Amino acid sequence: MPKSSFYQYNAIVEVHSVTVDCTVTSRFAHTVMTSKALNKANISQEIFFEVELPKTAYITNFSMEIENQVYVGEVKEKEKAKKQYDAAVSRGQTAGLVKASGRKMEKFSVSVNIAAQSNVTFTLTYEELLQRKLGHYEIQTRVKPKQLVEEFKIVTNIYEPQGISYVDAHATFLSNELLPLVEKTVTEKKARIYFSPTLEQQRSCAGCEGTLIDGDFIIKYDVNRAKTLGDIQIVNGYFVHFFAPPDLPRVPKNVVFVIDRSGSMSGTKIYQTKEAMLAILKDLHEEDYFGIILFDSSIDPWKDSLIKANKENVDEAMAFIKRLHDRGATNINDAVLRAVDLLRQGRSDHIVPEISIDMIILLTDGMPNVGESNLPRIQENVHAAIGGNMSLFCLGFGNDVDYRFLDVMGKQNKGLARRIFEASDATLQLQGFYEEVSSPLLSEVDLRYPDNAVDFITTNHFDQLFNGSEIVVAGRLTDNDLDNFLVEVFAQGVRKGDSRNVDIDEEEYIFGDFTERLWAYLTIQQLLEKRSVNATGSEDEKGNATAKALDMSLLYNFVTPLTSMVVTKPETENGTDSPLVADKLTEGKKNTTRKVQPFSYVVQLLDGDPHFLIELPDRDDALCFNINDKPGTIFNLVKDSTPGILVNGQIIGDKKIPPDGKINTYFWRFGIIHRTLGVRLEVTTRDISIFQDGHRVNLLVTLRDSVKFLILLHKVWEKHPYHRDYLGFYTLDSHLMTPNVHGLLGQFYHGIEYEVTDLRPGEVPEKPDATMYVKGQELNVTRGWQRDFRRDEKNGENIPCWFIHTNGTGLIDGDATDYIVSGLFKTV
């Protein structure tokens, strides 16, 4: 599902044009997204370009045109790209590119410094094979220009030689006035969708500067299905075979639902799971057989054997699910093995139909911590028990699961994994996944082609074909003069085997090399999967798969997990070029920002009223928040039990209430302990007291190979009617703290993963709002700045940061009140 979005959030940046041009030939989509922006300011400034594209897509090109000079990306091996990047880092450069992962898309974001009254044109190209789900293909374009655009255009051209059965186009932002602007032209084999509102038509109201264009533009379509062995298309010596025969009866299924009810599932998760299961049980067909296993530290099957999904049994199961509640720990290993036993027993006792498909659907939100907890051993146990006789589908609920573990375990056992995001629509996510796999049509599907006619075939054996999906195989012809060749299909199910001669009838396609690029796309995907999932394969086999995938990624200019796209940005003020490096993320990989500086530790400070600032040099970014409480409150700032380091701070208020009624609070006293050295320091706005082994001493203490704390005294005019002297606290060399460190500041000493997206105007023009995804939560944040007084003790230096509101709620662990302690040298 192609997705894209463009935005420029600065009011003095004018987005002149936004164009999305998508060409689909036989399900293979080639999308070009272009945005042209003008810096209207009288000084140079950064201009941002951001798009969202599907996780299954590969970027093939990115370029920037600045002052008639085009900077084009080059796909390189990831390690070579990293060396080029590191060389730039060694020169002190900091330019970079952000790649972040969302539900179904990846976010591509880049900024470049543009001179006053100059413009820049960004162009991004990517390709992907559209996947058929629930009976249709979907092209989804996300557009968020955030302002009126002089030239806005979405154009999609679709060519399907099989013939187009239907096309539907709609958008989440379409008003009654915009709806007629969606032009749709459909012939037997071609469709064109065109949407280009004028600047006036984009306005949210007459005379308003706001825009209606904000959301998803969605195209759904399907093709005609011949009652044969599918459709084969051949272009320039490569073929692609689409197999999704219509009117096949569904095969009965035997399914065991394995549901995590551990303590971490409490609250919304358990409620949404129950709601989804009630809907899923209603959807079972009467010829299906099913079972339910609940697990925490114990394993509790609903019944000792599979039972038929008639109304009486389904009603009983629904009553059982309604009583589901959370408790205990997480024993995934024994729960899945018990499900395997249920399905085996159903076969051996002849309970289930002979022609039927066995599957397990596992739902869990955490890591195994009872019974077998070694992840590779669990995978081995499950793989050995299943023995290729059933499918395992793994649903990972939330952010605390090891998605990689579930993904490998699913793919090793004829299934797959899917992440269920913690959100209000989690119930619908669960139901949607079940709908995709609930109606198997065929199993053990083999598509065979004559050895003397084709080679380099992509995967041609598939564990199952589900209703509404499609099998795709591609390969290269060895004889370009063939008039026809034999295709055979064998499968378990209603159809045992079939074959026919395929006539070769080349047509004129929209872009002629699509079959070769589609073949390369599929081959790379399958090689990458082979190297990561094949638990039994040798290191040589995995190494060969990696090497071949890398060679093909470079040959076809695809940005894959093995390659990076390098774009050399224009010369910076210091006269040097600076590279952008675009990486491909995989599911489960953390969000990264490839903005680098010559140092990599985290710098953290608190200063002022009290302002907390977490600088993240690896991300060339910062986070900030305020903590407000009554004067006299003492907070734990740093606690690292291994070396025995403790830092607490006490706040003080203004002398009296100012005219605006707002009382400012500041830190005025810190208590610092290093238990290993027997040192205790008390630092106030008036003096510094140093104690060693309980006795007050006068000495200079240097803690070698340990963290450094810098405390600055801010002097306020003694006769100021309201304000007082206060202290600023800075942490240096925080990387020397152990992983156990915590506290209001300490919890950030080893970095934090987050994603910022959807920039939009804030209450103050120069402070835009945005959405931050951090620790499994979605927060509204504001771009602002905090002052750092280390280099300029009088005026300070403004540090741009993302401000988290309401005492840092959602960013800090727990609540701010959890960090209140009873004394300056106390831990509770």
DSSP string, 395-432: EEESSSS-HHHHHHHHHHTT--EEEE-SSTTHHHHHHH
Question: Does a structural domain hold residue 712?
Answer: yes
Burial status of residue 185 (CB atoms within 10 A of its CB: 0-12, 13-18, 19 or more) = exposed
Mean per-residue pLDDT for 332-353? Answer: 96
Dist CA 398 CA 452 (whole Å): 49
pLDDT score, position 597: 26
Higher-confidence position of 650 and 511:
650
Nearest CA among 103, 27, 3 for reference residue 428: 103
Residue 282, domain extent: 253-438
Bridge partner residues of 500 (DSSP): 487
Question: Does a structural domain hold residue 802?
Answer: yes
Q: How many domains does the chain divide into?
A: 4
Do the Cβ atoms of 684 and 668 come closer than 8 Å?
Answer: yes
Dist CA 442 CA 356 (whole Å): 9
Mean per-residue pLDDT for 690-705? Answer: 53
Asked if residue 322 and residue 262 are part of one domain, the reply reads yes
Residue 747 has pLDDT above 70, yes or no: yes
Burial status of residue 429 (CB atoms within 10 A of its CB: 0-12, 13-18, 19 or more) = buried
DSSP-derived 3-state class of residue 793: coil
Adjacency order of strands within the sheet including 497-503: 461-466, 440-448, 484-493, 497-503
Asked if residue 262 and residue 182 are part of one domain, the reply reads no
Asked if residue 106 and residue 236 are part of one domain, the reply reads no
Q: Find the length of the chain.
A: 828
Q: What is the DSSP letter of 407?
A: H
Residues 6+ apart with CB under 8 A from 273: 259, 265, 324, 363, 397, 430
Do the Cβ atoms of 386 and 362 come closer than 8 Å?
Answer: no
Residue 572 has pLDDT above 80, yes or no: no
Question: Does a structural domain hold residue 358?
Answer: yes
Share of the chain above pLDDT 90, in %: 38
Amino acid, res. 218: I
Share of the chain above pLDDT 70, in %: 83
Bridge partner residues of 203 (DSSP): 211
Question: Does a structural domain hold residue 218?
Answer: yes
Asked if residue 108 and residue 205 are part of one domain, the reply reads yes
Question: Does a structural domain hold residue 1?
Answer: no
Q: Read out DSSP for 614-668?
A: EEEGGGTEEEEEE----TT-EEEEEEETTTTEEEEEEEEE-SS--TTSPPPEEEE
Nearest CA among 335, 271, 24, 355 for reference residue 159: 24
Residue 540 has pLDDT above 80, yes or no: no
Residue 217 has pLDDT above 60, yes or no: yes
Q: Read out DSSP for 726-779?
A: EEEEEEE-GGGS-TT-BSTTGGGTT---EEEEEEEEEEETTEEEEEEEETTEEE
Helix (H) or strand (E) holding 710: strand 708-714
From 110-119, 308-317, 375-384, 587-596, the region with the lowest mean pLDDT: 587-596
Mean per-residue pLDDT for 412-439? Answer: 88
Nearest CA among 220, 255, 243 for reference residue 465: 243
What are the tens digits of pLDDT across the range 141-171?
A: 888 888 899 999 999 999 999 899 999 999 9
pLDDT band, very low/low/confident/very high, at 224 (cuts 50, 70, 90) = very high
Q: Mean pLDDT over all residues of the chain?
A: 82
What are the tens digits of pLDDT across the range 70-110?
A: 988 888 898 887 777 666 555 544 334 434 445 667 778 77
The first and second tokens of residue 23, run together, are: 């060409």
Higher-confidence position of 9 and 222:
222
Mean per-residue pLDDT for 668-694? Answer: 81
Highest mean pLDDT among 79-93, 391-405, 471-485, 546-560: 546-560
Asked if residue 166 and residue 89 are part of one domain, the reply reads yes
Dist CA 387 CA 335 (whole Å): 17
Higher-confidence position of 515 and 93:
515
DSSP-derived 3-state class of residue 158: strand
Mean per-residue pLDDT for 237-242? Answer: 90
Dist CA 191 CA 233 (whole Å): 19
**Distance from the Cα of residue 457 to its chain's centroid:** 31
Asked if residue 697 and residue 677 are part of one domain, the reply reads yes
Provide the whole-model pTM.
0.69
Do the Cβ atoms of 301 and 338 come closer than 8 Å?
Answer: yes
pLDDT score, position 599: 26
From 438-442, 502-506, 516-520, 819-823, the region with the lowest mean pLDDT: 502-506
Asked if residue 275 and residue 197 are part of one domain, the reply reads no
pLDDT band, very low/low/confident/very high, at 514 (cuts 50, 70, 90) = confident
Residue 692 has pLDDT above 70, yes or no: no
Query: Tokens 């797959």 identify what position?
Result: 416
pLDDT band, very low/low/confident/very high, at 6 (cuts 50, 70, 90) = very low
Amino acid, res. 101: S
Residue 317 has pLDDT above 50, yes or no: yes
Nearest CA among 289, 292, 283 for reference residue 352: 289
The first and second tokens of residue 323, run together, are: 């009583």
Question: Does a structural domain hold residue 825?
Answer: no
Asked if residue 182 and residue 257 are part of one domain, the reply reads no
Asked if residue 269 and residue 184 are part of one domain, the reply reads no
DSSP-derived 3-state class of residue 88: helix
- The CATH number that applies at residue 353 is 3.40.50.410
pLDDT band, very low/low/confident/very high, at 746 (cuts 50, 70, 90) = confident
Highest mean pLDDT among 363-367, 381-385, 504-508, 567-571: 381-385
Mean per-residue pLDDT for 247-262? Answer: 92
Adjacency order of strands within the sheet including 777-788: 708-714, 726-732, 603-607, 611-616, 621-626, 797-804, 777-788, 767-774, 754-764
Largest CA distance in the chain: 98
Question: Does a structural domain hold residue 462?
Answer: no
Highest mean pLDDT among 271-275, 535-539, 600-604, 774-778: 271-275
Cα-based angle 412, 415, 420 (whole degrees, multiple of 5): 115
Mean per-residue pLDDT for 818-824? Answer: 90
The first and second tokens of residue 232, run together, are: 């084969």
pLDDT band, very low/low/confident/very high, at 695 (cuts 50, 70, 90) = low
- Supply the Cα-derived Rg of the chain in whole angstroms: 30
Residue 661 has pLDDT above 60, yes or no: yes
Asked if residue 166 and residue 53 are part of one domain, the reply reads yes
pLDDT score, position 693: 61
Between 375-386 and 403-412, two packed helices, what is the crossing angle to 10 degrees? 20
Q: What is the DSSP letter of 103?
A: S
Asked if residue 619 and residue 513 are part of one domain, the reply reads no
Question: Does a structural domain hold residue 506?
Answer: yes
Higher-confidence position of 285 and 208:
285
Q: Which of 390, 418, 438 is the last residue of a domain?
A: 438
pLDDT score, position 620: 66
Residue 790 has pLDDT above 60, yes or no: yes
Burial status of residue 554 (CB atoms within 10 A of its CB: 0-12, 13-18, 19 or more) = middle
pLDDT score, position 608: 57
Residues 6+ apart with CB under 8 A from 455: 475, 476, 478
Residue 133 has pLDDT above 90, yes or no: yes
Distances (CA, A) of 114 to 96, 138, 143, 238, 429: 15, 36, 23, 44, 43
Between 311-322 and 268-283, two packed helices, what is the crossing angle to 10 degrees? 180
Asked if residue 97 and residue 29 are part of one domain, the reply reads yes
Dist CA 578 CA 88 (whole Å): 6
pLDDT band, very low/low/confident/very high, at 461 (cuts 50, 70, 90) = very high
